[in-house]
Amino acid sequence: MTTTDPVTTVASPARHHRDTIAGFEVFWREAGPADAPTIVLLPGHPSSSHAYLDLIERLGSRWHVVAPDYPGYGFSEAPADTDWTFDLLADVIKQLLEHLGIGRYVFYMFDFGAPVGMRIATAHPERVAGLISQNANIALEGLGEAVAPLAGWWSDHSGNQATVDGFLSPAGTQMQWEAGLRDPGAADPALWTLDGLLLEQPERHRAAEALLWDYQTNPPSYPAWHAYLAENRPPVLAIWGARDPFFIPAGAEAFRTHQPDAEVVLLDTGHFALVEEVDTVAAHVDRFLERVYG
């Protein structure tokens, strides 16, 4: 396992925005100087940009930080008649960045952030200055045993409905926040309680269930994502909570398989690694951005 000294920064609280992007009212957080190089924080299920508040404060003193909520999650809207797919999420995030006039950026990807960020990166490699993967999987070998119940649901949608119902319940949301943490009590109950309350809203529940179903479209895309890494050789930092039962450390090592210069850092924590290791992650991210942006 790797650790590093915490970064010392002046706290930079987020600013909050809403705008209509691709027909959705999208909420996003922003911090730091608008003319600084940009890092885009892509969140994961079952959460949204509020999971990044501590990281935003640490990075926003030097970098331009943009942290959107996907449609269907957080404080973005969840229209009832939407066909929820990862293609849709990627298109909305791409259009948001175009709307903001941000032509080049580093993606920080967590969980769902991988299928969103990698779709954009493969379509527009010239826009992506670098990739940071924090427990954001792109390889079959990175799928842990905790993903198996969802795979069973994909193979028998109706027969395993109880599996996804439990996954989307308040208890399932808390379980995901605490998964693999050295101290499960380290996760502030406000974090998983907010996510749980939002997921109890019928249209947000429907959006999350549809996206969990659509997640099965991601593994067939892995070879294309691997080819993108090998051909374009973007700078990569794979910083991983090694105790994550969903996306195991082999997923971090997979980045180095396809981009040999990738930096891999394994931390003694779980899926939501920022709960216990935000200072360590922020220090590594800050150094990565220095290297990428000079």
Indicate whether 127 belongs to any domain. Answer: yes
Distances (CA, A) of 206 to 72, 79, 169, 210, 213: 9, 10, 12, 6, 11
What is the arithmetic mean of pLDDT over 103-119?
98
Question: What's the pLDDT at 156?
Answer: 84
What is the arithmetic mean of pLDDT over 105-118?
98
Indicate whether 1 belongs to any domain. Answer: no
**Which pLDDT tens digit goes with each residue over 125-173?**
999 999 999 999 999 999 999 999 999 999 987 778 999 999 999 999 9
Question: What's the pLDDT at 2?
Answer: 47
- Cα distance between residue 131 and residue 232, in whole Å: 12
Indicate whether 137 belongs to any domain. Answer: yes
Amino acid code (one letter) for 235: P
Peptide bond into 245 cis (omega under 30): no
The phi, psi pair for 28, rounded to 5°, reads: -145, 155
Question: What's the pLDDT at 3?
Answer: 43
Model confidence at 275: pLDDT above 90:
yes
- Tell me if residue 64 is catalytic: no
What is the arithmetic mean of pLDDT over 247-268?
98
pLDDT mean across residues, the chain:
95
Residue 205 buriedness (CB in 10 A; 0-12 / 13-18 / 19+): middle
Residues 6+ apart with CB under 8 A from 44: 51, 110, 111, 112, 113, 135, 136
Question: What's the pLDDT at 1?
Answer: 52
Q: What's the structural domain count of the chain? A: 1
CATH classification at residue 205: 3.40.50.1820
pLDDT over 70, % of the chain: 96
| Sign of torsion over alpha carbons 19, 22, 27, 28 | negative
What is the arithmetic mean of pLDDT over 76-84?
97
Question: What's the pLDDT at 134?
Answer: 98
Residue 4: band (very low, low, confident or very high) from pLDDT cuts 50, 70, 90: very low
Residue 204: band (very low, low, confident or very high) from pLDDT cuts 50, 70, 90: very high
Model confidence at 184: pLDDT above 80:
yes
Q: Which of 45, 50, 258, 271 is catalytic?
A: 271
The phi, psi pair for 244, rounded to 5°, reads: -65, 120
- Picking from 19, 2, 85, the residue whose alpha carbon sits closest to that of residue 273 is 2
pLDDT over 90, % of the chain: 93
What is the arithmetic mean of pLDDT over 54-65?
96
Residue 109 belongs to domain spanning: 15-293
Indicate whether 7 belongs to any domain. Answer: no
What is the arithmetic mean of pLDDT over 267-294?
98
Question: What's the pLDDT at 11?
Answer: 60
Indicate whether 123 belongs to any domain. Answer: yes
Indicate whether 274 belongs to any domain. Answer: yes
Model confidence at 10: pLDDT above 60:
no
Model confidence at 95: pLDDT above 90:
yes
The phi, psi pair for 112, rounded to 5°, reads: -55, -20
Question: What's the pLDDT at 294?
Answer: 86
